[in-house]
Amino acid sequence: MPDIVVGRDFKDLEKFEKIGTLRVGKHIVGTGEDAHLTSPILIDALRPHCMIVCGKRGGGKSYTLGVLVEELKKVRKDIRKNLCSLIIDTQGIFWTMKYPNEDDRDLLKKWGLEPMGIDVKVYVPFGQKELFEKAGVNFDGTFSVSASQLAPDDWLYVFGIGMNDPLGILLERVITRMKKSKDSFSIDDIINEIHTEEGFDNEKLALENRFIAAKMWGIFGETKMPTILESEKSTVLDVSMTPSNVRTLLVSIVLKKVLEDRIKARRQEEMAKVENEDIKRVPLCWVIIDEAHNFVPNVGKVASSDILLRIVKEGRQPGVSTIFATQRPNKLHPDVIAQSDLIISHRLTAKSDIEALKAIMQTYMLFDIEKYLNDLPRMKGVALVLDDNSERLYKIQVRPRQSWHAGSSPLAIDRKEF
Ligand SMILES: Nc1ncnc2c1ncn2[C@@H]1O[C@H](COP(=O)(O)OP(=O)(O)O)[C@@H](O)[C@H]1O
Ligand SMILES: [Mg+2]
């Protein structure tokens, strides 16, 4: 059976054939009892993409994300060295990728694969170090941001304070003044500064309390972020124990830097091309976000909305790809849906979510997506792949994971008894 390459246009297909692709699974042909696996399905990894992985709970989204991360680590060395990935881990499930999936050795064998741990570099918030250690999580380092990195608006956002509230006015005054006079300051410095303000009696204490609470989030310290754009590196930022509004803020801080650095690198690469020079390349980055509807929602705006929308609209030029996983594609910002060129949809039931998928690619109106989704065999890891590049759609079985997937639902009964 010839391999099927998705996410690659005809010209690239002629030129590169199946070089630089991610072997995610196999094509399912036939329905019901007749359904069987045929050609391997390969996803293009030479060009940037905007991908969505969707499906209802337990359908295999996080598992599929893991397969994609594994595959990014397996592409040919000369291509792989120009790639890296960043995983925003909202459930604390990606660190287990360091270990081989021994449980599925037999299943993997059927696919010609073996259990294999993957070299992911896991970082946890500085102030939660002990918590993660106690939980037995194997991490490589910590990350933190400086309180001085945040703008007054960021603070208003994370505290949920309006800019016209007395508390908001006080906050804005204090932070703006500090930013003018110092390059770097801590939360304790902010608290001290609050008390130098004239008036605002009760507000001062109330604001102090907010900042004391912020210290507990465990993300503030000196600015210490791991390098993300490093050849072949897969960085996992574990934000599973970070409050959701703080998560979005962190994502915006990290991604602004990734995008800026890639834009700079792209400029240098173009210059070098013109002048026929060899330069050290900065890798293209795949940004992977689980539960993405919380980071670029359809309704309302969160701290990461702007940067993520910028990346989906402009990211292909500087080479930043996105893979957004969500249970509810309908809850993703419509611009993300409109910009997506590749979708892996596990089973979906809500009509509004199916409609959202239909809206992605008008041409697919020719196909009845709902029917295709209903036709999917009720097995773990089956999905529909919608490819905007070839304007085609495939039923696939995602391959088993070589690395350990920690995301399965816990059993209420002791496994050993069975
Ligand atoms: N491609 C697959 N092959 C084998 N098992 C799978 C596959 N995809 C998912 N599963 C099984 O289904 C479970 C739920 O998948 P998961 O990705 O955690 O769901 P969710 O969509 O909620 O993120 C996994 O723990 C795994 O056991
Ligand atoms: Mg999941």
pTM of the entire predicted model? 0.93
Q: Residue 169 burial by CB count (10 A; 0-12/13-18/19+): exposed, middle or buried? A: middle
- Structure confidence at residue 124 as a pLDDT band (50, 70, 90): very high
Say which residues have a Cβ less than 8 Å from residue 349's Cβ, sequence separation at least 6.
56
Q: Minimum-distance ligand to the CA of 60?
A: 1
> If you measure from the C-alpha of residue 69 to the centroid of ligand 2, how many angstroms do you get, rounded to a whole number?
15
- Structure confidence at residue 415 as a pLDDT band (50, 70, 90): very low
Cβ 93 vs Cβ 238: under 8 Å: no
What's the rounded Cα separation, in Å, for the pair 186 and 182? 11
Side-chain half-sphere of 330: how many Cα atoms within 13 Å?
Answer: 11
Q: Which residue's CA is the closest to the ligand 1 atom numbered 14? A: 58
Q: What is the mean pLDDT of residues 234-239?
A: 97
Task: Looking at 351-391, list the stretches that DSSP marks H as alpha helix, in order from N- to C-terminal side.
Answer: 351-360, 369-375
Please write the tens of the pLDDT for every residue from 318-334. Answer: 999 999 999 999 999 99
Q: Which of 330, 333, 334, 335 is nearest to 345 (CA)?
A: 330
> Could you tell me the maximum CA-CA distance found in the chain, to the nearest angstrom?
78
Q: Which residue has the tokens 């495939």?
A: 394
What's the rounded Cα separation, in Å, for the pair 168 and 154? 11
Q: Which residue's CA is the closest to the ligand 1 atom numbered 15? A: 60
Q: What is the mean pLDDT of residues 52-73?
A: 96
Say which residues have a Cβ less than 8 Å from residue 80's Cβ, sequence separation at least 6.
72, 73, 74, 232
Work out which ligand 1 atom sits closest to the CA atom of 93. 18
Please write the tens of the pLDDT for every residue from 5-33. Answer: 999 999 999 999 999 999 999 999 987 77
Domains of the chain as residue ranges with CATH: 4-142+225-398 (3.40.50.300), 147-215 (no CATH)
Position 411 pLDDT exceeds 70: no
Q: Does residue 276 or residue 32 have the better pLDDT?
A: 276
Structure tokens at 313: 């609209």
What's the rounded Cα separation, in Å, for the pair 380 and 373? 14
Cβ 140 vs Cβ 159: under 8 Å: no
Structure tokens at 276: 């026929």
Q: Which residue's CA is the closest to the ligand 1 atom numbered 11? A: 380
Work out which ligand 1 atom sits closest to the CA atom of 56. 21
What's the rounded Cα separation, in Å, for the pair 131 and 260? 33
Residue 235 confidence (pLDDT): 98
- Structure confidence at residue 35 as a pLDDT band (50, 70, 90): confident
Cβ 346 vs Cβ 56: under 8 Å: yes
Q: What angle do CA 84, 303, 50 make, to 5 degrees?
A: 40
Say which residues have a Cβ less than 8 Å from residue 40's Cβ, sequence separation at least 6.
1, 3, 4, 23, 25, 26, 27
Position 369 pLDDT exceeds 90: no
- Structure confidence at residue 279 as a pLDDT band (50, 70, 90): confident
Q: Which of 37, 61, 35, 45 is nearest to 5 (CA)?
A: 45
> If you measure from the C-alpha of residue 289 to the centroid of ligand 1, how many angstroms do you get, rounded to a whole number?
16
> If you measure from the C-alpha of residue 294 to the centroid of ligand 2, how many angstroms do you get, rounded to a whole number?
13
- Ligand 1 binding pocket (C-beta < 6 A) is 55, 57-63, 380-381, 398, 400, 405, 407-408
CA dihedral 260, 261, 263, 269 (to 10 degrees): 170
What's the rounded Cα separation, in Å, for the pair 26 and 393? 13
Q: What SS3 state is found at 286?
A: strand
Residue 416 confidence (pLDDT): 46
- Structure confidence at residue 417 as a pLDDT band (50, 70, 90): very low
Work out which ligand 1 atom sits closest to the CA atom of 104. 4
Instruction: Choose one of 37, 346, 380 to mutate for the ligand 1 pocket test, by most ligand atoms within 8 angstroms of C-beta.
Output: 380
DSSP notation for 204-256: HHHHHHHHHHHHTTS-BSS-B----S-TT-EEEEE-TTS-HHHHHHHHHHHHH
Position 228 pLDDT exceeds 60: yes
> If you measure from the C-alpha of residue 208 to the centroid of ligand 1, how many angstroms do you get, rounded to a whole number?
44
For residue 367, the surrounding DSSP H or E stretch is: none
Residue 391 confidence (pLDDT): 84
Cβ 19 vs Cβ 46: under 8 Å: yes
Q: Which residue's CA is the closest to the ligand 1 atom numbered 16? A: 60
> If you measure from the C-alpha of residue 347 to the centroid of ligand 2, how many angstroms do you get, rounded to a whole number?
13
Residue 364 confidence (pLDDT): 56
Residue 148 confidence (pLDDT): 93
Q: Minimum-distance ligand to the CA of 66?
A: 1
Cβ 334 vs Cβ 52: under 8 Å: no
Q: Which residue's CA is the closest to the ligand 1 atom numbered 20? A: 58
The amino acid at 387: D
Rounded to 5 degrees, φ, ψ at 322 are -130, 145
> If you measure from the C-alpha of residue 385 to the centroid of ligand 2, how many angstroms do you get, rounded to a whole number?
18
Q: What is the mean pLDDT of residues 85-99?
A: 96
Cβ 20 vs Cβ 75: under 8 Å: yes
Residue 375 confidence (pLDDT): 82
Per the prediction, the chain carries an average pLDDT of 91
> If you measure from the C-alpha of residue 380 to the centroid of ligand 1, how many angstroms do you get, rounded to a whole number?
6
Q: Minimum-distance ligand to the CA of 289?
A: 2
Structure tokens at 248: 């979005």
What's the rounded Cα separation, in Å, for the pair 95 and 90? 12
What's the rounded Cα separation, in Å, for the pair 318 and 357? 27
